[in-house]
Structure 1
Amino acid sequence: MDRMAYWVVFIYLFSLFHAAHSVEDEVKQSLIKFLSKLSQGNGQIDPSFGWNMSSDPCNGQWKGVTCNDQSTSVKKINLDNLNLIGTLDAESLCSVQSLAVLSLNNNSITGEISEEIGKCKQLTHFYAHSNRLLGRLPNSFSGLSNLKRLVISNNNFSGELPNMPRISGLITFLAENNQFTEEIPDFDFSNLQQFNVSFDNFSGPVPDLKGRFGVDSIMGNPGLCGNPLFISCPPSPSPTKKSSGISTEKFLTYSGYIVIGLIFLSFVAFKLVKRKNRQGKTSVVKKGVSVDGTSSKPSKVTSSENKSGVSRSEYSITSVESGMLSTPLVILTSPVAKELTFEDLLKAPAELIGRGRHGSLYKVTMEDGTTLSVKRIKDWNISSDEFKQRMEKVDKVKHPNVSPAVAFYCSKEEKLLVYEYQQNGSLYRLLHGSQSGETFDWCSRLNIAASVADALAFMHENHLDDGIPHGNLKSSNILFDKHMDLCISEYGLMVVDSQDSLFLAHGGGNKTVDNSKDAHNSFKIDIYGFGVILLELLTGKLVQSNGSELARWVHSVVREEWTVEVFDKELILEGASEERMVNLLQVALKCINPSPEARPSMNQVALIINTIKEEEERSIVSET
């Protein structure tokens, strides 16, 4: 009886272990249906493939299937060179949400790819060259934000390409020998490593290939023109003049009356504005609040709420305090604001997009359509000369991932920093407030960590003698430009208050930063801030109290040896490498050490993270 009980327990434990290390039946059914559609006309799967409900895809019995390290989810399907002649069932395929790599090269697969392919959200590699696929490439392809490589050459695709430039991380696009038409989209050619659309039916001007791709990548498209082809594009047709039915003489007469009327109205408006200016001073940034903080009657203001709860308001600033104009706006080296004046800046419509302890942030739209971000700083006791010297020093050090200020203004009452507006939001929004509902994969998070580390290491090294760190590093200051390249904003605005003791404390004492006495610790503030950003990337959790609450929670979980519980569930479901996530977590814990002296330098941090990134890239290459 004891032996029988032993076997019962053993069989029960074995079944539990097997269930924890196997793929769900629903996934197996979807994959079997997918392969049956790809197989011969009778829909029967070759038994030698091993794709059946009685076996597990992750134990090596399913031909062409590779799983994650835990053998719990399918990551890669490689069915190259198998004489498959059916159709691609995207609906069944994308039921396997963990799938990252699909390779169907050198078969005879026919039919169209349905829009359901857009549900394969984790897909990073799609290879289907040398098949008989036809029809339009689905628009949903452009929604695959994780896609890195798309190879569809030697098929019968036709029609216009979807909005592929929307995929910011795309590094390979090979679509030669198809029948695509219309214009070639304006890809991010500075990011692409492989590109070929030769021998299609594209027409119109060739986009700027950034000098990275030659004639061989676009040849065989008779309708194309422009560089690098030796075919000039025809001039754009000028608009046809329409007869107005009014004689030239009458037109000139009426125009004269209009001009005289406009001059008269302008004169009256000028007098009215001048009289109004004499009656009182108006607000500098927000109507209803004067420079010295006293309130006045506000003009018409329209407001709305953004997703973070910050009230967004549009302001129309029609006049400024005369004393403020005595100090000019200092234009730095950026060409974005070369004609900008302080008066233009204040008169332009402004929208409040953020408010924090150290000031407010406004989106300002200039008359010529240029959009700028203006940071209005408060409670920073620094003289105008010191402020100017600091901004000029920061401007001299350039890094592609650090957003430079384009101009600044400093008077006794006001300190303003002007930046180019970045339209794709911040890392904070990407992690916590994404409107798209798309997942934020492990590779993207790791790339962001490496890019921020490299940029900070560069800035620290070049500003070491000046003692100028970032000073307020957080995920809301990591922005993304129109190409989704990240840029660190507000570098050099050291406005940390005395309550930010966790950054500087040697055991619990509070103190404000004095660059001249404690330059070493001032750079350690950035190390701590970067460590908190790493925790955000790894956990997906919100940051409060300068990250101290998140740091305490992570430490408590790690102490209990439940490290895997730290990581964002999206990363776990994706099948991200636990080993490399743990390695990055160890870097974060070193960065948030309560003792500044115990924290590593940014150069050391960048070196470690780039090593982790290289290991990840080698792993992806070995899988493909």
Structure 2
Amino acid sequence: MEPLRLPILLLISLLLLPLAKPDLGSDRAALLALRSAVGGRTLLWNATLQTPCNWAGVKCENNRVTVLRLPGVALSGELPNGIFGNLTALRTLSLRLNALKGSIPSDLAACTSLRNLYLQGNLFSGQIPEFLFILHDLVRLNLASNNFSGEIPASFNNLTRLKTLYIENNQLSGSIPELKALSLDQFNVSNNLLNGSIPAKLQTFTKECFLGTSLCGGPLGLCPGDNGTLPTGEVNINGNGNKRKLSGGVIAGIVIGCVVASLIILVLLIFFCRKRSQKTSSVDVTALKHPESEIPRDKPASADAENGGYNNGYSVAAAAAAAMTAGNGKNEANNNSAAAPGAKKLVFFGNAPRVFDLEDLLRASAEVLGKGTFGTAYKAVLDTGTVVAVKRLKDVTITEKEFRENIETVGAMDHENLVPLRAYYYSRDEKLLVYDYMPMGSLSALLHGNKGAGRTPLNWEIRSRIAHNAARGIEYLHSQGPNISHGNIKSSNILLTKSYNARVSDFGLAHLVGPSSTPNRVAGYRAPEVTDPRRVSQKADVYSFGVLLLEILTGKPPTHALLNEEGVDLPRWVQSIVKEEWTSEVFDLELLRYQNVDEEMVQLLQLAIDCAEQYPDRRPTMSEVTSRIEELCRSSSRDDPQPDLVKEASDISSR
């Protein structure tokens, strides 16, 4: 029996050999097989190295490959089976923005430690594979912008740790299954062939998550038959589903009753409008559609004002005129004293010609631009065709003398990257500021507004120019004195001209308002050392500007509560990605198509991180910030060879 023992042991060893624990050598072989199968213009891995841990897009821990990030590197063809079965320690796999097609290889199921899977922007097809649902550690799954078809599997409920599920822009059909086992923070199924009602648990997401489908319910409105909306002539009785048709007489009675009620309401409206017009001679306050809660009184608030909507035909200063008339019994706009206390005329700055006066402004039609920190802003179109922006201030707590002194300082600021304050009006009940109108709106709207078809992506040239312009404007403010700061730097206060040149607005207003306006006004932008938002140092401005730069680069607003499952703020999220993963994952998808400016993007990212340092003494000055942005803008205009983004990212994480 003894001579047989050796062959048997040898046979057992050969059978168990394929089951041996994978190591870095097998990971390396798998990566080389991947390169051979799908190519890619940046997979210039040095095969002579025994370790793959220094290859572009590869990260190792404990002698295994744990991160593979290859976004936008022109991978093409199909992913073969037999590769990911060896990369079993993967926690993050990013192959987004390539041209991979076919189905997802089934041996990906062996990567049971996978937490983040980014496959968006490829040509994958077929049904969403069932083997994905045994990857119980998945936190983020993005299959958007592919050619997946079939129904959305109910097996998604197996992924109980899942926080992000993006499957928009595919060809998925059928209804959305109940996903009761999931607690999703991010979800999108828009632009699919889906129908039916949105499950109750998903109805908290915005309508943008479901557009381009035949879904109904929740943010998309009621489905047919919901809440008693039955076919015409039928009603639901006792809530038990029994239907009874209404007789013709009952229907006729309802119609007649509605007509009579409408006539009564119309008569009452005419009566009240005439009565109101007798009290105000300067403007027609019945045109008021967007009142503030405090002015004028006895008027309901409009939801449109809260949402920054537009209302044509609204008189921008109707409320102001009403307040003045009520307080004085006459239109104070005709007072001839402009400079003395109590003056009721517009006070202009500089030597510019006075092409309009207060009455012209009161008569102007306007549109609500938005409701901001210090009040509501309007676009006012005067009878002469002149267009200005008017801000109605709220919660002004200082005396008239202090107000005039502060606002005179603001009006004296003159720089091409500041929105100039042209004039102001002060009375007990109203404080109005008149600015140049910026036709392209704010950076915030440009970054986070409509991203549907027809929108021009924000390229690197536009973003870097906006960053440079904003830095120059803030640098100028800081140059006016050591105690002068902006105090409210955020993307909605960076306004744009038609040529996408940026101008900084709302500077110098922080000292005018009371504490009720300040707590949340710079949520996400405020430096950690700031305890009183009305008193912001120049170093705190630098921190806010650093957050603004991160917003420009990532495309994420700093108040985004879903940056990850822990809900950290934008600077900490970026720092964690730079430290633990690959920097490319930080950048906005719209920026990743500009491959020739990777180095400049990384440099601006490093500057943003420097500005957002927790300790003020470690932050650069705005002069240093402006100089560094100018240098990288000059660098991006040269024809330098394409840099190694990963090497730059490693440099950042080691600093």
TM-score with structure 1 setting the length: 0.51
Match in the other structure for 2:600: 580
d(CA) in 2 for partners of 1:524 and 1:339? 40
d(CA) in 2 for partners of 1:603 and 1:620? 26
Match in the other structure for 2:537: 522
2:481 aligned partner, one-letter code: L
Does residue 295 of structure 1 match 2:316?
no
Correspondence for 1:599 among 611, 619, 631:
619
Cα distance change, pair 582–362 in 1 and its aligned pair in 2 (3 A)? same
2:446 aligned partner, one-letter code: L
Does residue 333 of structure 1 match 2:335?
no
Match in the other structure for 2:219: none
Deviation per residue, 1:159-197 (Å, 9 max, x gap) = xxxxxxxxxxxxxxxxxxxxxxxxxxxxxxxxxxxxxxx
Tell me by how many angstroms 1:434 deviates: 4.7
d(CA) in 2 for partners of 1:275 and 1:563? 62
Correspondence for 1:456 among 474, 483, 488:
474
Cα distance change, pair 498–425 in 1 and its aligned pair in 2 (3 A)? closer
d(CA) in 2 for partners of 1:19 and 1:481? 48
Report the secondary structure of 1:311's partner residue: coil
Q: Is the 8 A contact 2:490 2:548 kept in 1?
A: yes
Cα distance change, pair 284–525 in 1 and its aligned pair in 2 (3 A)? farther
Match in the other structure for 1:276: 278
Cα distance change, pair 541–18 in 1 and its aligned pair in 2 (3 A)? farther
Tell me by how many angstroms 1:339 deviates: 2.7
Structural mapping, 1:48-127, within 5 Å = 72=73
CA RMSD of aligned residues (A): 4.4
Cα distance change, pair 330–620 in 1 and its aligned pair in 2 (3 A)? farther
Deviation per residue, 1:332-365 (Å, 9 max, x gap) = 2374x71322222122112212012321111111
Match in the other structure for 1:564: 584
Match in the other structure for 1:589: 609
Structural mapping, 1:114-193, within 5 Å = none
1:347 aligned partner, one-letter code: R
1:443 aligned partner, one-letter code: E
Structural mapping, 1:600-615, within 5 Å = 600-615=620-635
Deviation per residue, 1:126-173 (Å, 9 max, x gap) = xxxxxxxxxxxxxxxxxxxxxxxxxxxxxxxxxxxxxxxxxxxxxxxx
Cα distance change, pair 445–9 in 1 and its aligned pair in 2 (3 A)? closer
Does residue 497 of structure 1 match 2:514?
no
> Structure 2: any 5+ residue segments left out of the alignment?
1-13, 43-69, 76-96, 100-273, 334-342, 644-655
Q: How many residues align?
A: 370
> Structure 1: any 5+ residue segments left out of the alignment?
25-68, 75-95, 99-271, 515-520
Match in the other structure for 1:396: 412
Cα distance change, pair 568–413 in 1 and its aligned pair in 2 (3 A)? same
Cα distance change, pair 290–482 in 1 and its aligned pair in 2 (3 A)? closer
Does residue 22 of structure 1 match 2:40?
yes
Match in the other structure for 1:416: 432
Correspondence for 2:396 among 380, 394, 416:
380
Tell me by how many angstroms 1:622 deviates: 10
2:449 aligned partner, one-letter code: G
Cα distance change, pair 8–586 in 1 and its aligned pair in 2 (3 A)? closer
Q: Is the 8 A contact 1:441 1:574 kept in 2?
A: yes
d(CA) in 2 for partners of 1:590 and 1:491? 23
Tell me by how many angstroms 1:487 deviates: 1.8
Cα distance change, pair 274–488 in 1 and its aligned pair in 2 (3 A)? same
Q: Is the 8 A contact 2:393 2:431 kept in 1?
A: yes
Match in the other structure for 2:504: 488
Correspondence for 1:543 among 546, 549, 558:
558
Tell me by how many angstroms 1:572 deviates: 1.9
Tell me by how many angstroms 1:412 deviates: 2.5
Report the secondary structure of 1:468's partner residue: coil
Q: Is the 8 A contact 2:527 2:543 kept in 1?
A: no
Report the secondary structure of 2:637's partner residue: helix
Correspondence for 2:359 among 343, 359, 379:
343
2:625 aligned partner, one-letter code: V
Report the secondary structure of 2:390's partner residue: strand
2:355 aligned partner, one-letter code: E
Structural mapping, 1:137-286, within 5 Å = 276-277=278-279, 286=288
Q: Is the 8 A contact 2:524 2:570 kept in 1?
A: no
Tell me by how many angstroms 1:535 deviates: 0.8
Correspondence for 1:365 among 335, 358, 381:
381
Cα distance change, pair 489–503 in 1 and its aligned pair in 2 (3 A)? closer
d(CA) in 1 for partners of 2:528 and 2:358? 43
Correspondence for 2:310 among 309, 312, 327:
312
Q: Is the 8 A contact 1:395 1:405 kept in 2?
A: yes
Match in the other structure for 2:187: none
d(CA) in 2 for partners of 1:345 and 1:600? 43
Report the secondary structure of 2:531's partner residue: coil
2:32 aligned partner, one-letter code: F
TM-score with structure 2 setting the length: 0.49
Report the secondary structure of 2:424's partner residue: strand
d(CA) in 1 for partners of 2:492 and 2:625? 21
Match in the other structure for 1:105: none
Match in the other structure for 1:444: 462
Tell me by how many angstroms 1:540 deviates: 0.9
d(CA) in 2 for partners of 1:506 and 1:12? 46
Report the secondary structure of 2:590's partner residue: helix
2:518 aligned partner, one-letter code: D
Tell me by how many angstroms 1:538 deviates: 0.8
d(CA) in 2 for partners of 1:97 and 1:338? 58
Cα distance change, pair 283–17 in 1 and its aligned pair in 2 (3 A)? same
Q: Is the 8 A contact 2:277 2:285 kept in 1?
A: no
d(CA) in 1 for partners of 2:398 and 2:421? 18
Tell me by how many angstroms 1:9 deviates: 8.1
Match in the other structure for 1:84: none
Cα distance change, pair 276–565 in 1 and its aligned pair in 2 (3 A)? same
Report the secondary structure of 2:639's partner residue: helix
d(CA) in 1 for partners of 2:613 and 2:380? 39
d(CA) in 2 for partners of 1:13 and 1:505? 43
Cα distance change, pair 328–280 in 1 and its aligned pair in 2 (3 A)? closer
Report the secondary structure of 1:608's partner residue: helix
Tell me by how many angstroms 1:373 deviates: 0.8
Report the secondary structure of 1:72's partner residue: coil
d(CA) in 2 for partners of 1:384 and 1:394? 15
Tell me by how many angstroms 1:428 deviates: 1.5
Q: Is the 8 A contact 1:457 1:606 kept in 2?
A: yes
